[in-house]
């Protein structure tokens, strides 16, 4: 009996979101919550006017969340190592943002691995990692959820 090939190329594969960090496929995920963008509203009340004028203010982004991940060949420590570059709890030091902030591409692919849409998350870093409840007899996901924080996003 042959081995089922690892994504992409397997039409039965459930992982339809690829996370690319620094141009390398680091993990595949079953679910991805792409951040929504929202403008704060600034209002200006000109003298003598009975109504205010509204302007777009700062843009904020929700945190992207990647769920049910399967790491690439490099293993599941990539996310953990990235998380620890932001803060070193052993030494009580903060990391250098020029090191831990990275641009991440989230690529939505169809069942045969063809890209459908790509989101580029600018200035992303790992905010939170949740590990799955794994047992030795389980082939379930190693990384259950990764939450990122981002500065900006682009859609292509």
- Residue-range domain boundaries for the chain: 17-34+64-155
Q: Are 28 and 72 in contact (CB under 8 A)?
A: yes
Tell me whether strands 53-61 and 93-94 are parallel, antiparallel or unpaired: unpaired
Q: Are 153 and 60 in contact (CB under 8 A)?
A: no
Question: Can you give the pLDDT at residue 150?
Answer: 93
Q: Are 125 and 148 in contact (CB under 8 A)?
A: yes
Distance CA 137, CA 126 (A): 29
The model's pLDDT over 67-109, given as tens digits with 9 standing for 90+, comes to: 887 777 655 567 777 877 888 777 778 888 888 899 999 999 8
DSSP state of 82: H
Q: Whole-prediction pTM value?
A: 0.75
83: helix, strand or coil: helix
Q: Are 66 and 145 in contact (CB under 8 A)?
A: yes
Question: Can you give the pLDDT at residue 88?
Answer: 73
Side-chain-facing half-sphere of 22: CA atoms under 13 Å: 8
Q: Are 42 and 54 in contact (CB under 8 A)?
A: yes
> Residue 51 has which token pair?
């109504």
Average pLDDT over residues 11-25: 77
Q: Residue 1 above 80 pLDDT?
A: no
The model's pLDDT over 92-101, given as tens digits with 9 standing for 90+, comes to: 788 888 888 9
């Amino acid at each position: 009996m042959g081995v089922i090939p690892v994504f992409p190329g397997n039409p039965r594969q459930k992982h339809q979101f690829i996370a690319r960090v620094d141009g390398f496929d680091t993990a595949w995920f079953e679910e991805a919550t792409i951040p929504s963008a929202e403008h704060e509203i600034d209002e200006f009340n000109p003298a003598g006017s009975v109504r205010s004028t509204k302007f777009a203010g700062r843009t904020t982004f929700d945190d992207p969340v990647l769920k049910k991940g399967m790491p690439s060949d490099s293993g599941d420590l990539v996310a953990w190592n990235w998380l620890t570059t932001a803060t070193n709890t052993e030494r009580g030091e903060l990391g250098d943002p020029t090191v831990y902030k990275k641009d991440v591409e989230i690529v939505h692919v169809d069942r045969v691995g063809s890209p459908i849409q790509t989101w580029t998350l600018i200035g992303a870093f790992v905010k939170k990692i949740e590990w799955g409840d794994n047992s030795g007899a389980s082939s379930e996901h190693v990384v259950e959820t990764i939450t990122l924080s981002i500065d900006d996003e682009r859609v292509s």
